[in-house]
Amino acid sequence: MIEDDYLADLGMDKRCLPLHYYDTNQLTIYIRSFSKTFLPGIRLGAMVVPDALRDMVVQQKYLSDICTSGIAQGALNFFLKSGMYDQHIRKVNACYRRKLVKAKAILSHVDLAGLTFHVPKQGLFLWISMPVAISANRIVEKLSQKNILVSQYLISEDGLQGLRLCIAGVSEKDLNALEDVIEVIKEETDIFVKKNRSIAPDMKS
């Protein structure tokens, strides 16, 4: 099993330990990155592999890029040992906590039949599911006209569609754009309902 812990350190609940923590039989490969917490462009991560795979992984790493930048590794090493990384993580987590609380407060006031949302306790993403079978692609296009970029839209097996919104690069103040997201969804829902009413057969005839 490969565990990609890309949100390592970006969490307030320390009880949420990675699966690798419970692996006593060396059945997992644990991967984590510092891109989300330290610096996106640094391109540094860490990997913990079972003893049986270590030599092969090291060889493949060498064949892939020969070696990782010593300057980047040195900078990260200094940041970790000096205690600045821990201070930075506390600030980052506090920032995300405030943004998630604000996002939940905004979405909690939405009154639209069928619309559901999920705001996690930690992390970078929000999920909003559509109230009816409206086009997620159309929603994304309309939002782009308002300079709101959606990271991804999803379609489930039963045809229901949803939006995944990333708050990583959004300031706390700009989270008010969630109200625009809801407004666009409401507009498309009204259009969908009116269109279906207009083509419904006249039951009196």
Tell me the domains of the chain and their CATH numbers.
2-82 (no CATH), 86-199 (3.90.1150.10)
| Residue pLDDT tens, the chain, 205 long | 999 988 888 876 777 788 898 999 999 999 998 888 888 777 888 899 999 999 999 898 888 877 777 888 888 899 999 999 999 999 999 999 999 999 999 998 888 877 889 998 888 889 888 877 778 888 888 888 888 887 666 666 566 678 888 888 889 999 999 999 999 988 888 887 787 776 555 544 4
CB 117 within 8 A of CB 129: yes
Tell me the DSSP string of the chain.
Answer: -EEEETTTT--S-TT---GGGG-SSS--EEEEESTTTT-GGG--EEEE--HHHHHHHHHHHHHHHS---HHHHHHHHHHHHTTHHHHHHHHHHHHHHHHHHHHHHHHHT---TT-EEE--SSSSEEEEE-SSS--HHHHHHHHHHTT---SEEEE-TTS-EEEEEE-TT--TGGGGHHHHHHHHHHHHHHHHHHHHHHHS--TT-
Give pTM, 2 decimals.
0.77
Residue-level pLDDT at 205: 45
Q: With the C-alpha atoms ordered 95, 96, 100, 103, is the resulting torsion angle positive or negative?
A: positive
